[in-house]
Amino acid sequence: MKSFVFLSFLCAALVLANAELEFDKLKVEVYYETLCPDSMRFVRNQLYGAMIDGSLLQFTDLVFIPYGKVGSWTNPSNNVTTLFCQHGKRECELNALHACIVEHNTMREQLDMITCLLNGYSTDIDTCATQLNIDVTAAKNCKATRTTVDILKKYGNMTDAIDMTFVPSVAIGGVFDIWKQRSILHNFAKVFCRKYKEKYDVYLQDCY
């Protein structure tokens, strides 16, 4: 009986300990293009460093929105829509691939995969998946079985909802401030920490 009580107490303690590890999360929405040099630099040099090296991912609801500046035209004769991405047709296809990763992988897996893919203009999904030991089967099936227009529709709507003039652009805490973009893109960690303190009245120990 005493053993049962002790085990029950231990389980309850573990539950409470795990509950204490749940932090308030600040939403960060990254609007980017897969072949945009500025997008690549921001994700590799600012975002990834802050999230992983700076340990901020645990305090973040990170949302990737791979779309950017895209034009579209729907043929009236057959109702087929064509997308025109800023860096060409290949970028539209890569945007869709990234979107499938966003839809089918965890937030940490998304960050790792997308950062790896943005290391170069011809980085392969299978190479990154093997290096990172991440299962991308569902993401690849998503890309193979759906049209690019269908995959990107949601991300296009999300992008159209903000007054974006530059790629990448970042919204923090559900707020997109066009006048704060330069500061965010060059000092992301500092801005994130300041916004976290403003919203939750908590100064994060790992902020820098």
For residue 1, is pLDDT > 80?
no
Overall number of domains in the chain: 1
Measured distance CA(104)–CA(101) in Å, rounded: 5
For residue 86, is pLDDT > 50?
yes
Supply the CATH number for residue 160's domain: 3.40.30.10
Q: What are 35-80's pLDDT values in tens digits?
A: 999 999 999 999 999 999 999 999 999 999 999 999 888 777 787 7
For residue 103, is pLDDT > 80?
yes
Domain annotation covers residue 21: no
Mean pLDDT of the region 162-171? 96
Q: At what angle do helices 125-132 and 107-117 cross, to 10 degrees?
A: 130
Domain annotation covers residue 11: no
pLDDT at 21: 64
Domain annotation covers residue 67: yes
Q: What are 33-46's pLDDT values in tens digits?
A: 999 999 999 999 99
Domain annotation covers residue 16: no
Domain annotation covers residue 108: yes
Domain annotation covers residue 175: yes
Lowest mean pLDDT segment, chosen from 47-56, 179-188, 198-207: 198-207
Domain annotation covers residue 52: yes
pLDDT category at 4 given cuts 50, 70, 90 is: very low
Domain annotation covers residue 4: no
Is this prediction's pTM over 0.95?
no
Range of the domain at 151: 26-200
Tokens found for residue 73: 């035209």
